[in-house]
Chain A
């Protein structure tokens, strides 16, 4: 395996501004929901900011936790798909093959992080939003599952550029939209295979934890926070 992509998110830095959510929306051509669909819980956000409250009112501290696909090594979503529409692509990414998906939604039920999203209808964008689609990202048809890809289109572009220049990919050269847009610089992306990379260093730090780690899913998103 040449690369093993991973992410570190510093929860002590996250301000909950949701810039990552907005950036993800425009980078990845996420379908829009009207208020009616959104109120039914059908809004699609490949990355969302969960809120946790600490302490008793009025002495409350709010904590934010951006949750995206954890790109598990032992992903529970993968074996349950009857048509191999989701699998581990060899660079540690859980990829979703939209063309192959038939929409059983079993993967979403088996995802402990609830980060898989379904296209309940054919997607539609009001003008002029339909004109700002990212040409590097496929539009998903109705009836298929979708989720965070770690901006695989950006990974591919950097790999292509690096191969063309005949050099290795530099640490920090690949930046998913959420990482790039984070004003607090709470998110770091990189290659976990490279022990010198920033993300490897953060993942090995004493502040590093992983979400629902006890399920044995081996996520590749590392959350950094002060130990209590």
Chain B
């Protein structure tokens, strides 16, 4: 790279800024692959818009399918960042330094991807803006009684909040980079560092802003996934209409968010050679948190299913039976294995817990949590109250392609991000003087 960042002899800076310059062979390959897979997904979406949503496998009565599974999944992943980083910031956990920005970036990218799915899944995606409350000559407003409107409001709030929350702690780093860059990087960093000089007043203002944002973003994050849960819980459909869904979804989101964070950390420390900063202790601490969330997830799952089974309501039992021992049983028990049995075996014992086992558990949890969303949406829709309308869903290549391409999009966004901005906050290590 011709405008490579000038690296001085400062060991901290040289280690944390090094990933910004130069492109390794692995990086280039990953970038090309991620770009092509992402472009394929966009092409599939284009095909779907031109031909009609019918190219997806959704049908009557399973009107929602992979797209909404992915929506809930990615919004769940977005809880990685902000929530974890906000908790760690508010509790002033000393070990958080290398974790926070990695996590915050996941939030923003996962939200960008997740928020696309409600649009992808619309019958008429080109008029999605009719859901926005904008003044118009016909005085048409969206319906604020609809959970989908609450959802839209919550996600827009969360996305703007997370972008600010990612951006604020970037400012001091950007100003530092500005001092040592040339060319387009200089222009970029100068623009983004909005005149940061590092004065006492600026530091105090930034600290205050970050603390307030951390508090607010916590509340917003909890509300977002509660509202996502209510998209289902507000419906009278069997096994959706449940009070447990709000907290169940929030816990599940944090669970899958931590898992996503761990997977990204494991990849980044290898790819960007940050082993000295992203250390075993971080995996150990987050592994413990993942274990705790696994137990909480199990508690919620037992609570949901046991009460349904004991209550023995016929409409709910047909959904329950299909999940536990019917057509969806293989997915159900895989989910239990991925979300509870495997993490329990690998994470509960200090001697077994290592970077490798924590990462394996995290990947399993991601699979398990994707399946959990599938198992929430599809069995209920397959079994409407009138048995005559029963019907089953199978995804088509379009849905599978678009689903796969979102993982490529996440990779692509992350690869670009880590070339433009330091993935670990440099100033957090140095920043003690003004206290």
Q: Do A and B come from one complex?
A: yes
- CB 8 Å contact bits of B104-134 with A (1 = contact, 0 = none): 0000000000000010011110011011000
Within the complex, the shortest CB–CB distance from A50 to chain B, in Å, comes to 4
Within the complex, the shortest CB–CB distance from A46 to chain B, in Å, comes to 12
A51 within 8 A of B: yes
Q: A interface, how many residues as a size bin?
A: 35 or more
Complex interface: chain B residues within 8 A of A50 (CB): 386, 388
- CB 8 Å contact bits of B139-154 with A (1 = contact, 0 = none): 0111101111100100
Within the complex, the shortest CB–CB distance from B384 to chain A, in Å, comes to 5
A122 within 8 A of B: yes
Within the complex, the shortest CB–CB distance from B299 to chain A, in Å, comes to 28
Within the complex, the shortest CB–CB distance from A32 to chain B, in Å, comes to 14
B356 within 8 A of A: no
- Partner of B123 from the list A48, A51, A105 (CB cut-off 8 Å) is A105
Complex interface: chain A residues within 8 A of B51 (CB): 121
Complex interface: chain B residues within 8 A of A118 (CB): 60, 63, 123
Identify the closest chain B residue to A142 (Cβ).
B52
A80 within 8 A of B: yes
- Partner of B59 from the list A41, A100, A110, A215 (CB cut-off 8 Å) is A41
A141 to B58, CA, bound (A): 18
Identify the closest chain A residue to B148 (Cβ).
A82
B235 within 8 A of A: yes
Complex interface: chain A residues within 8 A of B57 (CB): 40
Contact A120 B391 (CB under 8 A): no
- Partner of B236 from the list A119, A141, A215 (CB cut-off 8 Å) is A215
Contact B61 A41 (CB under 8 A): yes
A109 within 8 A of B: yes
Contact A83 B59 (CB under 8 A): no
Q: Knowing A79-B143, A113-B386 touch, does A143 contact B60 (C-beta < 8 A)?
A: no
Complex interface: chain B residues within 8 A of A141 (CB): 124
Identify the closest chain B residue to A111 (Cβ).
B384
Q: Knowing A51-B388, A114-B61 touch, does A102 contact B53 (C-beta < 8 A)?
A: no
- Partner of B389 from the list A37, A80, A114 (CB cut-off 8 Å) is A114
Contact A119 B123 (CB under 8 A): yes
Within the complex, the shortest CB–CB distance from B136 to chain A, in Å, comes to 12
Contact A101 B235 (CB under 8 A): no
Complex interface: chain A residues within 8 A of B419 (CB): none
- CB 8 Å contact bits of A45-85 with B (1 = contact, 0 = none): 00010110000000000000001000000001001111110
Identify the closest chain A residue to B389 (Cβ).
A114
Complex interface: chain B residues within 8 A of A110 (CB): 235-237
In this complex, the member of A50, A106, A114 whose beta carbon has the largest number of chain B beta carbons within 10 angstroms is A114
A144 within 8 A of B: yes
A83 to B121, CA, bound (A): 16
Complex interface: chain B residues within 8 A of A48 (CB): 388
Contact B128 A102 (CB under 8 A): yes
A75 to B266, CA, bound (A): 50
17 of the cross-chain contacts (CB-CB < 8 Å) are A37-B54, A41-B60, A82-B146, A83-B143, A84-B142, A84-B143, A102-B131, A103-B53, A104-B122, A106-B147, A109-B235, A113-B385, A114-B386, A114-B389, A120-B53, A142-B53, A145-B123
Identify the 9 closest CB pairs spanning chains A and B, nearest first: A103-B123, A120-B54, A143-B123, A114-B389, A121-B52, A105-B63, A50-B388, A143-B124, A82-B148
Interface residues of A (CB under 8 A from B): 37, 40-42, 48, 50-51, 67, 76, 79-84, 100-106, 108-110, 112-114, 117-122, 141-145, 211-212, 215
Interface residues of B (CB under 8 A from A): 51-54, 57-61, 63-64, 118, 121-124, 127-128, 130-131, 140-143, 145-149, 152, 231, 234-237, 381, 384-386, 388-389, 391
